[in-house]
Structure 1
Amino acid sequence: MPDPFRDDHPAGGILPAAANPFRPGAGKVPPAFGGRMQPLLAAKSIVDRLAVPADPVTMPVLRGFRGMGKTALMAYAREHAAAAGTVTLHIEADPSDTSLASTCAGMARDARPLTTDLPAAFAKRLAALDITGRVEFHPSSSTDPGSNIEALLHDLVLLGDAQRRGILLTVDEAHEAEDLLLKPLVRALHRHAQDARAFGVIISGLPGVADTLMEAGQTYTERLASYDLGLLDEDGCAEALRLPFADDARIVVTDAAVAAVHAEAGGYPWFVQLWGAHLWNCLQQAEAVTVDDVERARPNVERDTGAFYARRWARVPDGRARGLVRALAGASGRAPLRTLLAELGLERSAQLGPARAELIDRGLVFAPSRGWLAFTVPGFDAWVREHT
């Protein structure tokens, strides 16, 4: 057995494992997104305008299930914004932070590039600055969490404006604290848009996030633009696979290999990255990636996807929820509720209500249309049938 510390290619391939460009980790920026042109263009528009600095036109809301690349796309935007001199702030919504104190403190820490010449006490304030010819600290007089975050953003944006620096705020997992967090954020954005301040926001969350705000039709929601990130089609899969091999190793990926990976991955972006990583590590010849390489990589991919599915199964609550998952798996992962009720020996859809809601909240299933249920990740149905 080779020693990976002595062998540069422990997986037996010709390419150095340390140079592997694929990023199958949660939230990691992939070498090529594949099939995400519209949200990428929206993010680039914001980054470009903040670098001027100028007022962004829209606020993208990236929606999709976990593993679709939302977090990675926001990280990519922050990376380019910071390189252009924009101050980047990031929030991961936390439903337990009901006062938004931790959220505000995190933004204050991210804003340190704006405050390096100010008193250190700034980082401890939630509504910190007022710019009226000079800088003054003032306490927040409101007990409303939304008012606190609006006040902090107001002061940070004014400070950025005084320094001719744009501010980009990214908000991840927004569905976790939607009512608490989104309204004050969108109000803050609208307020600064009226004054043409260089303040941009990108939000991400599960499907349905921000629907309530959009449906309300209030003035401050006019800049919301929703982008639904779904499974990659074969063209998107081809781009995500081919660009890294071409750019980093000048190796082509054949049409047959792309088709095989797309079929195996089901278009799930995380799986596509996983296939790319293992194809890189096991490649035997420099001419091209072929279906033979796909077969050679399969055991390693199946090992990792098996562990992935096992973790998802561990998140399924005991009781009726597990019965519902097994019934859905028996129906190939997508079925009308009436079929699932019959399989479980139940009569009324209300009897499935709590289990269905819990599985949806955990991102394990979704409703593709009224009266239907489906798994959020391809291939989970086969794993459940075989292993549970």
Structure 2
Amino acid sequence: MDSVLNPYTPNAGASPDIIVGRDDQTKAFEVLLRRLSRGRTHQSMIVTGLRGVGKTVLLNEFGEIARGERWEVLELEASKHDDTRFRQTMASLFKAALLRLSPRAKWTDHARRAAAVVTSFAVSVDQQGTWSLAWDVAPEDGFADHNDLSLDLTDVLVAIGELAKERERGVAILIDEVQFLSTRQLEALIQAVHKTVQRKLPVTFVGAGLPQIAKLAGDAKSYAERLFQFPKIDSLDEAEASEALREPAAAEGVQFEEEAVQLAVEITKGYPYFIQELGYQVWEIADQSPITQLDVETAREGYEAKLDASFFRVRLDRATPLQTAYMRAMAELGPDAQKAADVARIMGRESSQLGPTRAELIDMGLLYTPEHGYAAFTVPDFDKFMLRAVPTLTVPEVRKRKKT
């Protein structure tokens, strides 16, 4: 097989040649945009799922759909920045969106006001002027200068939304890794979008993140469950997984024998990233079409080695010895969500001693909490990897933290 023609894309966020099993989500997004464009309200979306199920790919697809509808798209991958850095990033994105919505030479009153509000938002970051948007637009007094992120962001989104409405356009804010936003930042986004809904403006915030996002959004604002849909994406079913494997190869004139497809689906369990990785490895070792069951079986060792060396290993390498021991103890209990007390028992410790470690792993995005008192890995088969990578459970000494 020609490696240049390999149609599989086992890369973070890389869109496969064919997106399978996400029609419901893309149709829902199209409805969202078209209703907002007609001056009607509709729930925005926050897509949830484990690592590697295609959340970023889906968010990128949403961006293409929005641009096709002539919407301005602001794209951001959230990280653990303080509010100042978050404001700077958002101010830069708002400035760029405004100039695309309306070139400066054609500014109307709505455009001038929106620009002034964006300046106010930027000035409030650093009133000494060591950071600026690098344009000579005076701030709008009384707007986006409250020194309150929620109020300031609301003023900006309303002003940008009014300009977009005048231009018969829309603004879609697409944020990946939403779980890394601080509570204050998430609260501000939710409150700002809520105001644009009340004003019936063509603005939406669509996010993607780990499964705990629905709870985090609800904790940030109680009305979030009514403001957003929270579609969950998961592994593909057997038919979808088969299509995701077959169709990219077929586009290059290569076929799979049925037994080869069945084995590949069994190995990957329909997990989108695993399908791309296994497909890539199979393509590299196969000599000709059709690809056989033996080809898939032969590629399996390389597939597992690649996952261990990259997809899984980068997560383990970020962990401290105590965090590693905690995950190793979870793996010993199996692939399902595990109760904190059971993990502590395996480690010969008390839950109170290990609570901070568990919280750190959740904060790092290595674990999530499907229900109170339980934690699970954010990627499938991580338990098996932990058993391979850390053959023996070794628990560093931990001390019970004193109450103050």
- Using the size of structure 2 for normalisation, the TM-score is 0.79
Match of 1:113 among 71, 90, 100: 100
8 A contact 1:88–1:110 mirrored in 2: no
- Give me the whole-angstrom Cα distance separating, in 2, the residues matched to 1:126 and 1:272: 48
Choose the corresponding residue for 1:69, options 46, 49, 54.
54
2:141 matched to 1:156? no
The residue that corresponds to 2:5 in the other structure is: 19
C-alpha distance in structure 2 between counterparts of 1:39 and 1:113, whole Å = 27
1:379 alignment partner AA: D
RMSD across aligned positions (CA):
3.0
2:81 is equivalent to residue 78 of structure 1: no
Aligned residues of 1:328 and 1:340 also touching (Cα < 8 A): yes
- Does the aligned pair in 1 maintain the 2:368–2:375 contact within 8 Å? yes
1:90 aligns with 2:81: no
Please tell me whether residue 379 in structure 1 is matched to residue 366 in structure 2: no
The structural deviation recorded for 1:233 is 3.2
Go from structure 1 to structure 2 and tell me whether the alpha carbon gap of 1:240 and 1:249 turns closer, same or farther (over 3 Å shift): same
Specify the code of the residue in structure 2 equivalent to 1:125: T
2:358 matched residue in structure 1 = 356
Task: Find the counterpart in structure 1 of residue 193 from structure 2.
Answer: 189
Report if aligned partners of 1:31, 1:244 keep a CA contact under 8 Å in 2.
yes
What is the CA-CA distance between 1:366 and the residue it aligns to? 3.3
Q: Given residue 318 of structure 2, which amino acid in structure 1 is its aligned partner? A: R
For residues 172-227 of structure 1, what are the alpha-carbon distances to aligned partners after superposition, in whole Å with 9 as ceiling and x for unaligned?
A: 22221242223332333232223332222211122121425447885575231111
Q: Is the 8 A contact 1:266 1:378 kept in 2?
A: no
Whole-angstrom CA distance in 1 between matches of 2:65 and 2:182: 27
Moved more, 68-77 or 192-201: 192-201
Aligned to 2:268: 265
Q: How much has 1:272 moved relative to structure 2?
A: 1.4
Q: Does 1:281 align with 2:267?
A: no
Whether 1:57 and 2:59 are equivalent positions in the alignment is no
1:253 counterpart SS class: coil
Give the whole-Å Cα distance in 2 for the aligned partners of 1:213 and 1:332.
Answer: 29
Q: 2:174 aligns with which of 170, 174, 189?
A: 170
Aligned-partner SS, 1:289: coil
Distance 1:25 1:106, change over 3 A: farther
Structure 1 residue matching 2:229: 3-state secondary structure? strand
Q: Report the Cα offset of residue 91 of structure 1.
A: 2.6
Q: Which of 113, 119, 129 lines up with 1:125 in the alignment? A: 119
- Residue 165 (structure 1) shift: 1.0
Match of 1:142 in 2: 146
Written as runs of structure 1 = structure 2, the 5 A alignment for 1:224-235 is 224-235=228-239
Tell whether 2:33 aligns with 1:28. no
Post-superposition offset of 1:62 = 0.6
> Contact 2:43/2:229 (CA < 8 Å) preserved in 1?
yes
- Greater Cα shift, 231-240 or 76-85: 231-240
> Structure 1 residues 367 and 136, CA, compared in 2 at 3 Å: closer, same or farther?
closer
Alpha carbons of structure 1 residues 227 and 330: separation in structure 2 relative to 1, 3 Å: same
Could you tell me which of 320, 324, 327 is aligned with 1:325? 327
Give, in whole Å, the separation in 2 of the partners of 1:245 and 1:137: 55
Superposed displacement of residue 240, structure 1:
1.9
Identify the match of residue 366 of structure 1 among 346, 365, 368: 368
Matched residue count: 363
Q: What is the CA distance between 1:76 and its match in structure 2?
A: 0.9
> What SS does structure 1 have at the residue aligned with 2:213?
coil
- On the 8 A contact 1:97/1:103 being kept in 2, the answer is no
Give the secondary structure class of the aligned counterpart of 1:228.
coil
Q: CA deviation at 1:83?
A: 2.7
Deviation, 1:87, is 0.9
Q: Structure 1's 194 and 332: CA in aligned 2 closer, same or farther, altered over 3 A?
A: closer
Unaligned runs of 5+ in 1: 1-12, 129-134
1:298 aligns with 2:300: yes
Q: Corresponding residue for 1:223? A: 227
The residue aligned with 1:211 is 215
Q: Give the partner amino acid of 1:113.
A: R
Do structure 1's residue 237 and structure 2's residue 223 form an aligned pair? Answer: no
Amino acid at match of 2:119: R
Larger displacement relative to structure 2 (199-208 or 40-49): 40-49
Partners of 2:182 and 2:24 lie apart in 1 by 24
Q: Distance in 2 between matches of 1:95 and 1:374?
A: 22
Query: Partners of 1:149 and 1:190 in 2: how far apart?
Result: 11
CA distance in 1, matches of 2:224, 2:355: 34
Q: Deviations over 1:285-307 (max 9, x none)?
A: 23x33312212322432232121
Residue pair 2:51, 2:210 contacting (<8 A) in 1 also: yes
2:245, 2:275 within 8 Å by CA — same for their partners in 1? yes
- Residue 166 to residue 313, structure 1, CA distance change in 2 (3 Å): same
- Deviations 1:311-363, CA, capped at 9 Å, x for gaps: 121012222x22222222233344444443332122x3222211212222222
Aligned equivalents of 2:356 and 2:32: distance in 1? 40
Pair 1:41–1:138, CA change in 2 (3 A): same
For residues 28 and 166 of structure 1, what CA distance do their matches in structure 2 show? Answer: 26
Gaps of 5+ in 2: 123-136, 391-404
- d(CA) in 2 for partners of 1:266 and 1:280? 19
Which letter does structure 2 place at the counterpart of 1:84? E
**Residues 224-260 of structure 1: CA deviation (Å, up to 9, x unaligned):** 11112233332332232223223x2244434433332
Distance 1:182 1:55 in 2: 24
Aligned-partner residue type, residue 275 of structure 2: V
What is the percent sequence identity of the aligned residues? 29
